Amino acid sequence: MKSTFRQSMAWLHTWTGLLPGWVLFVIFLFGTSAYYQQEISRWMRPEIATGAVTPRALDAADAVLRERGAGAGSWTLSLPDGRGGDAFTVSWAKPGDRRGDGAEVLLDSRTGAQVEPRDTRGGFFLYRMHFDLHYMPVMWARYLVSIAALAMLVAIVSGVVTHKKIFADFFMLRFGKGQRSWLDAHNVTAVLALPFLTMITYTGLVTLLFTLMPWAISASFPSQEAYYAAAFPTGPEASVTGDPAPMMPLKDLFARAAEARPGFRASFVTVNNPGDAGATLAIYPQVDAFGGPRGPVNISPVTGQLLAVPPIPGAATLTQSTMIDLHAGRFSGWELRALYFMSGVFGTVMVATGLVLWTVKRRARLPDPARPHFGFWLAERLNVGVIAGTPAGIAAYFLANRLLPLQLEHRADWEINWLFIVWGGLLAWGMARPARRAWIEGLASCAVLFALVPVVNALTTSRGLIASLVNGDTLFVVFDLTMLALAAVFAFASWRVLTRRAQPAPRRKSRESSEAFA
């Protein structure tokens, strides 16, 4: 350990930031993009018209379920939220089948006409990748994410202790100064987003609370299923009576739910044993209000009688849901969501600059920079593969959405596969190339891929940038402009690495630089 408390905190900050740093970069990058997951889903399904579900569309869904879902054991309806990221979906399943192996139909939310959009997981995949990762068991992924989040929390606290001049340095951003500039960039992004980073890390740990500390459940309940049944009751169970009975129209049942809970807006609906006198209907609310209701309103679809209303949550449940709302930001309007997004960008840049700073600082100490030891070589190449490779993979994900054949089997899975193919390809390329060339080529690849997104979108759909400007299609305009802005940022970064001359190692390091990231 170090001789002083502050030096010990610097050592702790360095290693709790470096070792999980590449995982943290992935978490931050995908989590930041997930704040616009609904908008991304809309872009990735250009065949779907957006808008709230109209009574006409609800009548059409009712007709489809009664005609094609007759005799099914359950019906489900998934309604798009106010941002229109999801399709209006109706499905039905065989009696006793809880996995929905029956059939599914997607409808236009305005007219109720059947639509056939391309198969994609859209922005939802980016959201799930944020904490479930991919190609690995979910629980192992969540353990890994939890450990990385704990390390992040330690890094935040130790970083505040270490950088005693952090706020002064915020007003002294210096460009083109090598190690000093990387430290300044790390400090500035950390200071700008410090309240957000502390909140997002702590609330992220709360959302994975029972992954980290399951003992409260095991001490009080026989199983996790028993806990969730008690904490989040779903209402009365449906019983098959054998007596056929017609259902009320869905729009009338929705009106009953709104009467029971003023301001209630449906998100997901399940009907168990439709057509039977003992049928039950559960309507789940949109989760877009801070601390709003989570449980379903239960109604008899035959009589319209209210069977159960979600109970008022206790203090512990309300605290947990509030933390989750703070983390996910689903309650936010466009202004607050933009602030969430920008804070997430600062957090992503903070992690990236910290990883790069570690190698920049230590390269000057190498006896032979042309032949670094394996640990340094690996860290430097992982920086290239993760910092440049991950955004390149996301751009490839968007391109695959437009370029893959619409009738391709497992099309949504192949979109995801192409994300990892490009990411893995850049990681392997970075391992094989000299570090400077790897950075130039990796960043340039990101620039090219992001620049291609609006071009390919214009060539493969009728909602290109020019057409969207003419038609006032704001989402497609903003998406394409964002892709072009990202391309410009990566192109500029590649150019800066290409044109920058090697800086000689400073004869005398500042005390701050020496102590920080020791």
For residue 340, name the pLDDT band (cuts at 50, 70, 90).
very high
CA distance 173 to 189: 11
Q: Indicate whether 208 pLDDT > 90.
A: no
Strand spans (E) along 364-513: none
Across 471-481, average pLDDT: 93
- Cβ 408 vs Cβ 414: under 8 Å: yes
Rounded to two decimals, the pTM is 0.88
Q: What is the pLDDT of residue 450?
A: 98
CA distance 159 to 9: 7
Q: Indicate whether 219 pLDDT > 90.
A: no
List C-alpha distances in Å: 483 to 152, 300, 395, 442, 479. 29, 48, 8, 17, 6
Tokens 């629980």: give the residue. 139
Instruction: Give tens-digit pLDDT for 270-279.
Output: 998 888 888 8
Q: Which two tokens stand for residue 482?
A: 């964002």
Across 466-480, average pLDDT: 93
For residue 167, name the pLDDT band (cuts at 50, 70, 90).
low
Q: Name which of 402, 495, 389 is nearest 440 in CA terms.
A: 495
* Beta-bridge partner residues of 88: 107
- Cβ 231 vs Cβ 217: under 8 Å: no
For residue 160, name the pLDDT band (cuts at 50, 70, 90).
confident
Q: Name which of 282, 285, 322 is nearest 300 in CA terms.
A: 282
Instruction: Give tens-digit pLDDT for 5-36.
Output: 778 888 888 888 888 999 999 999 999 999 99
Tell me the helices (H) and strands (E) count for the chain, helix number first.
22, 8
Write out the H or E segment, with its range, that includes residue 453: helix 435-460
Q: Indicate whether 109 pLDDT > 70.
A: yes
Looking at per-residue pLDDT, the higher value among 514 and 360 belongs to 360
Return phi, psi of residue 177, to 5°. Answer: -110, 20
**Angle formed at CA 464 by CA 459 and CA 465, multiple of 5 degrees:** 135
Q: Which two tokens stand for residue 150?
A: 């704990």
CA distance 184 to 192: 12
Q: What is the pLDDT of residue 408?
A: 94
Q: Name which of 419, 493, 443 is nearest 40 in CA terms.
A: 419
Q: What is the pLDDT of residue 172?
A: 64
Q: Which two tokens stand for residue 23?
A: 């995982």
Across 118-128, average pLDDT: 93
Looking at per-residue pLDDT, the higher value among 34 and 319 belongs to 34
